[in-house]
A and B are shown apart, each in its own frame.
Chain A
């Protein structure tokens, strides 16, 4: 990514209930609040909610695609500040905060429910260039 690029395009995504089941199977996170409405409601939620870690996985994919696989994280974190439900459109926004002299990129991404102001997820990552061994240029 050229250093002059300060922010990436925003993208909109709507999770389906089937996405949550697929993620539960792949990650091993079978907490019923992610697929069973009754369990979700008895936990005080309005209905089933998206795994926070699925939102974080989407952020990782977004950063990977925005940097075309040329960077990988050295470290990153996400704060889960609100719940996202299936069939609710969310927007991904990302920007580059800093390009360090050692080649690391510091970037920030948020996931916000469309129509709301406060993000449901706030992430920050320190990315380092992928070595040729890490990626396939083909």
Chain B
């Protein structure tokens, strides 16, 4: 991770995913339920955090450390409802980068757009990393 040059504005090349119903089911089944509800799946809603499985390409010129990375905060905004068969193109961008002491505070904004350009989701992650 650079500590002299600001990575703000660096962006990943777009990556297109076709939403796969098996991937949705696998994600859904990986969310454990609380005591007394095991095995109950009363709604057909898409798991709200499913967009995290739609990975962006790496951001050229920017890498996160493999260890000591802490996820501090996560936000999602949603537009068009995701469903199986949809094409979603995902890009990720460094929108904020600050160093305080030996810690870097990095905000990554990942956007998912439908084939016609409509916003499907925006995911904003605040990550804390040791400055190298």
Contacts and interface: CB of A to CB of B under 8 A. Distances in A.
Interface of A: 11-16, 19, 22-23, 25-29, 31, 33, 39, 42-44, 52-54, 56-58, 60-65, 68-69, 72-80, 92, 130-131, 133-136
Contact of B53 (A27, A42, A44, A62): A27
A19 B34 contact: no
Interface in B33-63: 33-37, 42-45, 47-49, 52-53, 55
A57 B44 contact: no
Interface stretch (B71-79, B84-92, B93-101, B105-113): B71-79
Given A64-B48, A68-B42, A57 B71 contact: no
A136 B44 CA distance: 6
What 7 pairs across the A-B complex have the smallest Cβ distances?
A69-B43, A60-B48, A11-B34, A26-B30, A13-B34, A77-B75, A75-B77
B5 interface: no
B26 A25 contact: yes
**Residue from A25, A39, A56 with most neighbouring chain B CB atoms (10 Å):** A56
B36 to A, nearest CB: 8
23 contacts: A11-B36, A12-B35, A13-B34, A22-B30, A27-B53, A28-B53, A43-B68, A44-B68, A52-B71, A57-B31, A58-B34, A61-B31, A61-B48, A63-B48, A65-B37, A68-B42, A72-B45, A72-B78, A75-B76, A77-B75, A80-B70, A135-B45, A136-B44
A72 B30 contact: no
B37 A11 contact: yes
